A and B are shown apart, each in its own frame.
Chain A
Amino acid sequence: GAVVSQHPSRVICKSGTSVKIECRSLDFQATTMFWYRQFPKQSLMLMATSNEGSKATYEQGVEKDKFLINHASLTLSTLTVTSAHPEDSSFYICSARRIPGGTDTQYFGPGTRLTVL
């Protein structure tokens, strides 16, 4: 099966610092990756769609300057939370799909739990 990894699995940082989260597709090339955020007891909310070699597409209400996304290769996308604040504390999950368009399934990473003090 397709494997997606995330690093780090959890991070604690001080308010005002920036945190980078990596998402890698380990055994396939992902033309498209997605970033989700999940608050406790809530469902996943899509933040942005990341396509290799192009700018990410952000969902309404998501600040692109605060959540920087880079998809530099077919196996790596990064999400940087800039100037993190306690309200950014959440479970961040990435996913990847192998085939653009169509109905190919998405393969999800294990998630990164961010705690901002």
Chain B
Amino acid sequence: DAKTTQPNSMESNEEEPVHLPCNHSTISGTDYIHWYRQLPSQGPEYVIHGLTSNVNNRMASLAIAEDRKSSTLILHRATLRDAAVYYCILNNFGNEKLTFGTGTRLTIIP
């Protein structure tokens, strides 16, 4: 699977939007962009995924660049419970495996 690059850590104030970037310059045409997050001492949790178009769900929004070489996970209004490590993962259609990178550790400031 193609590699992703994320900042090691980010901070955001509570109740403000958070934009978590991910670079994936070597993405292939059949790679889906997945985001998972892992709260402390828990297993990862699915957040959102997309291919080309921007996606919205109850947890977050995913904005995908037109050339698909980068994407941004948007938390519209961060709460303390959103403090977690966020992983951006590329997954090729038909490949069941997920390869986790180091992710971005998001800290929410009250």
A interface residues with partner B (beta carbon < 8 Å): 4, 6, 32, 34, 36, 43-46, 49, 91, 93-95, 97, 100-103, 105-111, 113
Given A43-B100, A97-B96, is A105 in contact with B44 using a C-beta cutoff of 8 Å? no
**Chain B contact residues: over half helix, strand or loop, or mixed?**
loop
Q: Which of A32, A45, A111 contacts B43 (CB 8 A)?
A: A111
Contact sample, A vs B, 23 pairs, CB 8 Å cutoff: A43-B87, A43-B100, A43-B101, A43-B103, A44-B38, A44-B44, A46-B98, A46-B99, A49-B96, A94-B43, A97-B96, A101-B96, A102-B93, A103-B32, A103-B49, A103-B91, A105-B34, A105-B46, A107-B46, A108-B43, A108-B44, A108-B45, A111-B42
CA A114 – CA B34 in complex, angstroms? 28
B110 close to chain A: CB less than 8 A: no
Q: Tell me, rounded to whole Å, the shortest Cβ–Cβ distance linking A41 to chain B.
A: 10
* List of A residues within 8 angstroms of B97 by Cβ: 34, 46, 49
Chain A residues within 8 Å of B43, by CB:
4, 6, 93-95, 108-111
Q: Is B54 among interface residues, defined by CB-CB distance under 8 A?
A: no
- Determine the main DSSP class of A at the interface with B: strand
- Could you tell me the distance between the alpha carbons of A7 and B102 in the complex, rounded to whole angstroms? 26
Interchain pairs with CB closer than 8 A, number: 58
Closest-CB distance, B44 to chain A (whole angstroms)? 5
Query: What 1/0 mask marks residues of chain B from 79 to 94 whose CB sits below 8 Å from any chain A CB?
Result: 0000000010001011
Interface size (B, Cβ < 8 Å)?
23
B-side contacts of A102, CB under 8 Å: 93-94
Q: Which residues of B contact A (CB under 8 A)?
A: 32, 34, 36, 38, 41-46, 49, 87, 91, 93-94, 96-103
4 A-B pairs closest in CB distance: A108-B43, A44-B100, A105-B46, A43-B100
| Chain B residues within 8 Å of A43, by CB | 87, 100-103
Closest to B41 in A: A111
Chain B residues whose CB sits within 8 angstroms of the CB of A94 once the complex forms? 43
- In the bound complex, residues from chain A placing their C-beta under 8 Å from that of B93 are 101-103
